[in-house]
Amino acid sequence: MRLLRTLATASALVVLTAAPAAAQEDEPSATTWGVVPSSQDGPDGRAAFDYALDPGETLIDFVGVSNFGSEPITVDLYASDALTTEAGAFDLLPSDAEPVDVGSWVGFNERRFTIEPGQRLDVPFALAVPDTATPGDHVGGIVAAVTETATDDSGNEIDVERRVGARIHLRVSGELDPSLVPEIEDETYHYEWNAFAPGSTGFDYTVTNAGNVRLEGDLVARVSGPWDVLEREVHVAELPQILPGDSYSGSAELDRIWPLARVEIELLVRPEAVAEADAEAAMPTGTDTETLWAPPWPQAAVAAALALAIWVLLKIRKRRKAKADTGEPEPEPKKEPIEA
């Protein structure tokens, strides 16, 4: 606590040298603010808080919060853990959720500040990595939140929190384990009742980051019949960044798949590094395989109809040939008497 109190005296309120065009218009601008990595002397050009630390190590850094609007704003500063959303986007925990990872390792001496229009506040914070921190990537963010009063559809006043943040990418030293694991679910075959057209195969998939490194990559499906008949590879999706412990889900529909009684689907995920430092690291391919039964019913129906038609034609030809061989004349049509 003494360290943080000392650092709080180093906070500096700095007048911005430039503001966005929206803040320079004659009309009052909306409340806008920004958050960037900074130093005691101002922003230092970093796009995110990127760190490589050992377990038990502590560092001091600064976050710059700028008011681009025309009115004073009161901001609440805090850190939180990151997550991968269902849509594959990067996000932070809701403000009412307690962080348990890197977000809980960040401490501020003060967390609420009022910033005048056109000014920036450079706020120090401490990042203390626990001795028990696991190796690999720990991702979060530092947030500056502004709470405003709004009116809902029923006319009630409600508090709305708006958040702007900067990412934290912390790499804790130790053995790395890059691993993306795919899983196929609810696979189905969709027939085209035109026997001369192939059908399609649909399935849901989930890709889980089971390792300790943030990864992206490509998801492909290898589809074939028995004994690898008509095997081909289809691109399914380009995976977004998936954080360690998180998952990304989606659905796929593969066209031009013939019903070969047994269709084998092999889902492969080929990981790619997000951090430049991992570009040359070995990234093992994750796989999952499912077998789907797809009897060729349309083709069988056509084959049966064709066989029946051939059988009927052969029967007719055989009967005519038998009659021709015995010389039996064709029966004449019976004449009905004409009534007077």
- Express each pLDDT in 141-165 by its tens digit: 999 999 887 877 788 888 888 999 9
In a domain, 326, yes or no: no
User: Does 259 lie in the same domain as 119?
Assistant: no
248 and 133 within one domain: no
156 & 24 share domain: yes
Tabulate helix, strand, coil % of the chain (nearest 5): 15, 50, 35
- Alpha-helical (H) ranges within 186-231 are none
In a domain, 330, yes or no: no
Same domain membership, residue 41 and residue 76: yes
Q: How many domains does the chain have?
A: 2
Residue 304 lies in a domain: no
Greatest C-alpha distance within the chain: 132
From 248, 257, 3, 307, select the one nearest 125 (Cα to Cα).
Answer: 3
pLDDT for residue 93: 95
Question: Quick one: 49 and 67 in the same domain?
Answer: yes
Classify residue 62: in a domain, yes or no: yes
Residue 331 counted as domain residue: no
- For residue 101, being part of any structural domain is answered with yes
**pLDDT score of 199:** 87
Give the C-alpha separation, 85 to 246, whole Å. 9
| Residues 222-253: tens digit of each pLDDT | 999 888 888 999 999 999 999 999 999 999 99
Instruction: Look at residues 148, 172, 196 and tell me which one is the last residue of a structural domain.
Output: 172
Contact (Cβ atoms closer than 8 angstroms) between residue 199 and residue 189: yes
Domain residue limits at 129? 2-172
223 and 256 within one domain:
yes
State whether 109 and 47 are in the same domain: yes
pLDDT confidence of residue 81: 97
For residue 259, give Cα distances in angstroms to 187, 188, 224, 294. Answer: 14, 11, 10, 5
- Point out the domain boundary residue: 120, 149, 172: 172
Q: What is the pLDDT of residue 276?
A: 86
Q: Enter the pTM of the model.
A: 0.78
Q: Are residues 101 and 157 both part of a single domain? A: yes
Looking at the fold, whether 196 and 151 belong to one and the same domain comes out as: no
The DSSP secondary structure of 32-86, one letter per residue, reads -EEEEEEETTEE-S-SSEEEEE-TT-EEEEEEEEEE-SSS-EEEEEEEEEEEE-T
Specify whether the backbone of 64 is left (phi greater than 0), alpha (psi in -120 to 50) or beta. beta
Is residue 74 within 8 Å of residue 146, measured between CB atoms? Answer: yes
Instruction: State how far the Cα of 223 lies from the Cα of 198, in Å rounded to an integer.
Output: 13
Rounded CA gap, 177 and 161, in Å?
37
Identify whether residues 54 and 99 lie together within a single domain. Answer: yes
CA count, 13 A, side-chain hemisphere, 279 = 2
Which residues of the chain have a pLDDT value below 70? 1-30, 297-303, 327-340
Are both 37 and 140 inside the same structural domain? yes
Residue 287 lies in a domain: yes
Please identify, among 172, 193, 227, the residue that sits at the C-terminal boundary of a domain: 172
Q: What is the CATH number of the domain that holds 158?
A: 2.60.40.10
Residue 258 lies in a domain: yes
One domain, residues 268 and 162: no
Given a contact cutoff of 8 angstroms between Cβ atoms, the answer to whether 209 and 246 are in contact is: yes
